[in-house]
Amino acid sequence: MKKSLLSLVIASALLAGAPLLATAQAAKPAAAAPAAQGSASKLVLDSSTRILGTLEQRRAEFRSNPATLKQFITTEFNRMFDRDYAARLVLGVHGRGASDADVKLFADALADNLTARYGTSLLDFNSKLRVRVKSESPLPGNRGVKVSSEMLREGGDPIPVDYLLRNVGGQWKAFDVMIEGISYVQTFKNQFDGPLRQKTIPQVAADLRAGKLQPSGGN
């Protein structure tokens, strides 16, 4: 049975796709980072190799020790994802003028909520999935690059997965993942608009940590 969209998004963000049985076809990079040509695609592919290999090797350990799994996921998520920047995008108009501390509070609470709910699903991730990186192209306004890829499934149609990345201190970091054209950032932006109209950012973050808010991407 196909995972829920959100589970697939989180898995994609953490795994940078799927096992590496692919070739990168890098296009021209954004003008701001000419020395980094193709490196965003390389990040996606290298991350998938490292993370899937570790999950496969340590599957039994992770199943018996959820704390170790959470630490591994958190480390990889922080390495791959620019979660504070993504959090500002999710907050949208509610984040205008917000302090970096409040944004980080929200980003940490959202990430912890999602990894706690969906982290163990990575242990059941279909190891026969493959990822094919199709292209790397600059985003409008010199905002970064888009790495377009496909998840290849045995007996199923390819699943389009796009990663939006920006260069942060000389390193590419993802700030959005789009599964079949549906954006992780936009999905959560829509879901949190209501709560953020009624409460402050720290209050919404507290609700996330307490489990009173459960973000969901649908099935």
Tens of pLDDT along 23-46?
Answer: 222 333 333 333 334 688 888 777
Neighbours of 2 (CB within 10 A): 10
Calpha distance 217→219 (Å, rounded)? 7
**In the prediction, which pLDDT does 24 show?**
28
Q: What pLDDT digit, counting tens, does each position of 126-140 carry?
A: 556 667 788 899 999
pLDDT tier for residue 142 given thresholds of 50, 70 and 90: confident
- The dihedrals phi and psi of 196, each to the nearest 5 degrees, come to -75, -20
pLDDT of res. 119? 72
* 182-188: average pLDDT: 87
pLDDT of residue 46: 76
Between 124 and 205, the more confident residue is: 205
pLDDT of 3 strictly over 90? no
Report how far residue 200's alpha carbon sits from residue 219's, in angstroms, rounded to the nearest whole number: 29
Q: What is the pTM of this model?
A: 0.79
What fold characterizes domain 5-209? Nuclear Transport Factor 2; Chain: A, (3.10.450)
114 pLDDT band, cuts 50/70/90, is: confident
- Give bridge partners of residue 168 from the DSSP assignment: 171
pLDDT of residue 89 exceeding 90, the answer is yes
Residue 13 pLDDT > 60: no
Q: Give the span between the Cα atoms of 185 and 183, in whole angstroms.
A: 5
- Given a cut of 80, whether residue 53 has pLDDT beyond it is no
Q: Is the pLDDT at 67 greater than 60, yes or no?
A: yes
Report the chain's mean pLDDT, rounded to a whole number: 78
Q: Give the domain ranges of the chain.
A: 5-209
